[in-house]
Structure 1
């Protein structure tokens, strides 16, 4: 079960961070390999991502479901591909360090099943830390330079 945790300190108050991360439309496009997403309701969305893990390049449709929403600190979610061959879970957390500094912690666990599962899981172990680091850096850049989006992206 490949997993990773990435932490970053950011000079921004927790309320502004929460305003950004509490809307999936703001951060879904920041996931590496993102192509598009559709909000089903405020807790469920479908993300289309294209990725290359090892020698395998594939477009996947992931159902992302929010399982915990604790303002202003934590969003937890599960994800699964349409054929259930790829499943996982993750969190995006913000912890206040001071009035103007916050630590953002992103965790992600993904497991591949099926015939290629062992090979894909081996590649995911090396790939997930890079993906998560890139994602959280994109998120911080977006929060610091642009206003959060209020539009929904659709398939």
Structure 2
């Protein structure tokens, strides 16, 4: 068995973080190699991912089951690769660390079975922490994007507004 735990600090409150996390299809779309997510029911989904290690690239189907939705703090899940002797699980735990800040922790374990398990785990051991860290950071980024208020197309953001105002002031000085 190989396992890792990765954390990320999200600039969003606990409820806004949960609003994003409670949709499992959002988890699938940020997986490296994401191709498709089929929602079966509230707790089950099937993800299609294109994965590669070295020169070996293949498409895998992952059956994901949410064992517990205990929001806004906890999600427990298990997964199994269809047709491969690999399964595992993990937890997502969120803790409010401030009024607009949430610490998320993602713990994942992967178990290979059968005669190839030692080789599979030896290859996966250095990759799992990198993979989980990348996923946790991407999850953080997507949550933060989801809580940023959308600006109207005719209302430029603050930075763009400053640039336009500076440009207009410059052009006005040229005319004078």
1:141 equivalent in alignment to 2:141 = yes
Compared with structure 1, are the counterparts of its residues 18 and 144 closer, same or farther at alpha carbon in structure 2 (3 Å cutoff)? same
1:34 to partner: Cα distance: 1.5
State the match for 2:77 in structure 1: 77
User: CA RMSD for the aligned pairs?
Assistant: 1.5
TM-score by length of 1: 0.88
- Structure 1: gaps of 5 or more residues: 148-155
State the match for 1:44 in structure 2: 44
1:68 to partner: Cα distance: 1.0
Contact 2:45 2:64 in 1 (8 A): yes
State the match for 2:60 in structure 1: 60
CA offset digits 1:49-82 (Å, max 9, x no partner): 1212356432211110000111110111000012
Query: Whose RCO is larger (CA < 8 A, sep 6+)?
Result: 1
SS at match of 1:45: strand
Flag the structure with larger Rg: 2
State the match for 1:151 in structure 2: none
Contact 1:53 1:127 in 2 (8 A): no
Contact 1:53 1:124 in 2 (8 A): no
| Superposed counterparts of 1:99-114, under 5 Å | 99-114=99-114
1:116 to partner: Cα distance: 2.5
- Structure 2: gaps of 5 or more residues: 148-176
Distance in 2, matches of 1:20 and 1:124, equals: 29
Distance in 1, matches of 2:133 and 2:18, equals: 19
SS at match of 1:83: coil
